[in-house]
Structure 1
C-alpha cells in the first residue's frame, strides 16, 4: 500500500467518526424522554427502589423518612451494533461525499436506538415475565393489581381499550388518583401521549383540538386541550398499532431506566493503529473493502409503573 493511499484511509476513518458523532448528537429522539438515564459500571446493575420521595409534612417529633422497598430490579447490559461496507476505491478516489450519506444514515439510526428500545420495553410491559422482565412488585409492568402497602390494588392498565377521548380522560383520572406507599397522593401530572402512526390524528385531536364531539354528537369545548404533547413511535405498528401510553415525564423519575455502560462509539475494520496501518489487512487485500460501524453497551428496564399508563385494544 502506498503512503498516499494509507494517508487517505487514515483521514477517512477520522472524518467518518467525526461526521457520525456530529449527526448523532443532533438526532431528535422524543421517545428517549420516557427513560431516565443512569450510568452503569458493571455487567449487571441492581436497582433498589425507595418509591417516590415523601411529601413535606409538619416536623413535630421525628422527620418523615421514605420507606425502602425490599424488591430489586436487576438489569443486565447487552451489546448492540450495526455497520456498513465501504469500498476502498471510493475512499482512495476521494468520493467521501457518497460514503458520508451512508455514515449519516448510520448515525441517525443509532440516534433513534435508545428511544426505540424504550418503546420495545413498553410493548413488552403488558406481558408477565416478558423480554424486559416485570415491575418491581413482580407483576407485569402494566397491570390492574399493583399493590403498595397502604393502598391495596392500584392500576396503570386500560385493558381492551382503544384510544379515545373517554379512554384518555379515564387514564388521566386513574393516574392522578394514585397514592404512594404512605398513603399520600403521588401528584402525577400526565403530560405525554405516546402512540403509533395509526393513532397520530386521533391523539392530536384529543390533545390539541378546541372542540370535540360530545356524548350526543354535539360540539363541546375540549377542556383537556394542551394537557399532553404527542410522541409518535414507528415501533407501534402492526399488532401494536392500537397500543397507546400516557406518561408523566415532568419529573426526574421516569417510567423506564436506560442504563449505559458504554456510550455509542464507532469502529472501522481494518482499524488504524498508532500510527495507522492498513497495509496488513487481509480484508482489504482480498475484498477491497472496509467495514465501518457503531456499537454500544447498555440496556433498558422498568422503573416506577406509577408514571405511565398503558392502553391496549
Structure 2
C-alpha cells in the first residue's frame, strides 16, 4: 500500500464512471413501448383525473365542466440502489481490469431496472388496483351506460395459459406509468479517512434512484390467459376496439401492440405476418399489430 495515492483513487473513479456509463448505454429499454414517463416532485403523485377519459362534445348552452379527481389513485415513489465495493489493494496495485466488467454490470443493472419495474407491474395487474378501484386487468370495471346506470366492462379473459396482451400506445398517456422522482445517480464513497476504509480497506461505488410503476387507462390494455389462437386474438381485438366510455362515448381504441412472452413468439409472429392460413383461407389479422416479445413476461 505504500504506493497508493489519492491520484490512484481519482484516476480509478474516472475509469469506473466511464465503465458504468458504457454498461448503462448497452441496454435498450423496452418499457417505453407500453409506459409513459411522468415526472414527480413529491413523495407520491395523485392520478384522480384518470377517472375522465377525455372526449369532445357539441357545445349547446353552457360548457360541461369535467370534474377531474373523482377517483382516489396515487403512485408512491420507492427508493432503489445498487452498490459494489472495491479493495484498496487492487487500486494500489493498479489491478483495475478485474473491476471493469463489474462496473459495466452495475451500469447495465441500473439501466434494466425500469424494465423490471414496469413489467412486474404489468404482471401484477391481475391483482393490483388501478384508478377505478378494480384490478387493472378485471372483468368488472364500472362504466356508466347511456342512461347513466353503472355496468361492468372487462379488459381480461381468464384461462390457464401464459398471458398475452394487446395495447393501444397511440395516446399521449400509455397504458402504464413510469413515475420518476430521481433519475439514476452514480456516486462514490471514497474518503480514505472514512470508517469504512479504516475498518474494511475498501471504497464503495453505487447508484440510486427514486421511482415507481403504476397504471394509466385500463381501456388501453387487454389481457388474455386463453390459448393464443386466431379466434381468441380476434375476440380480444374486437372487444378492445369496441370499448365505450361513460354515457356511450366512443373511445376509438386502436390496438397496435401485441405483447407476448417468449413461449408465444413464433405463434404471434406467424399470425401477424402470413397472408394465408394452412387451410388456404386469407389471414384477416396480418399486420394488425406490431409483435413485441418480452423476456420479462412469464411463459
Say yes or no: TM over 0.5.
yes
In 2, the alpha carbon distance for the partners of 1:236 and 1:164 equals 19
Q: 1:195·1:233 contact (CA, 8 Å) conserved in 2?
A: yes
TM-score (norm 2): 0.68
The 8 Å contact of residues 139 and 155 in structure 2, kept in 1 or not, is answered as yes
CA distance in 2, matches of 1:154, 1:113: 33
TM-score (structure 1 length as normaliser): 0.65
In structure 1, C-alpha distance between the alignment counterparts of 2:95 and 2:14, rounded to whole Å:
15
Write the deviation string for residues 120-161 of structure 1: whole angstroms up to 9, x where unpaired.
Answer: 11111112xxxxx40222111111111122362211001111
Cα distance in 2 for residues equivalent to 1:225 and 1:99? 49
Question: Alpha-carbon deviation of 1:60?
Answer: 3.8
* 8 Å Cα contact 1:212/1:221 also seen in 2: yes
> Larger RCO: Structure 1 or Structure 2 (Cα < 8 Å, ≥ 6 residues apart)?
1
- 1:31-42 equivalences under 5 Å are 31-42=31-42
SS at match of 1:79: strand
Residues in 1 aligned to 2:2 and 2:276: alpha-carbon distance in whole angstroms? 71
Match of residue 223 from structure 1: 284
Moved more, 54-63 or 223-232: 54-63
**How far does the alpha carbon of each residue in 1:263-298 deviate from its partner, in whole angstroms, 9 at most, with x for none?**
xxxxxxxxxxxxxxxxxxxxxxxxxxxxxxxxxxxx
1:149 to 128, 141, 144: 144
Distance 1:225 1:90, change over 3 A: farther
What is the deviation of 1:117?
Answer: 1.2
**How much is the aligned-residue C-alpha RMSD, in angstroms?**
2.5
Aligned position for 1:75: 75
Instruction: Give the secondary structure class of the aligned counterpart of 1:212.
Output: coil
- 252, 257, 271: which is aligned to 1:187? 252
Shift of the alpha carbon at 1:64?
A: 5.0
Deviation at 1:2, TM superposition (A): 6.0
Superposed, which structure 2 residues align to 1:197-208 within 5 Å? 197-208=262-273
Is there any run of 5+ residues in structure 2 with no aligned partner, and where? 160-225
Match of 1:212 among 277, 280, 295: 277
Which one is further off, 133-142 or 48-57? Answer: 48-57
What corresponds to 1:158 in structure 2?
157
**Corresponding residue pairs, total:** 229
Counterparts of 1:37 and 1:190, CA distance in 2: 20
Q: Is the 8 A contact 1:44 1:77 kept in 2?
A: yes
- Partner secondary structure for residue 248 of structure 2: coil
Report the Cα distance in structure 2 between the residues aligned to 1:30 and 1:155, rounded to whole angstroms: 26
Is contact 1:50-1:66 (8 Å) kept? no
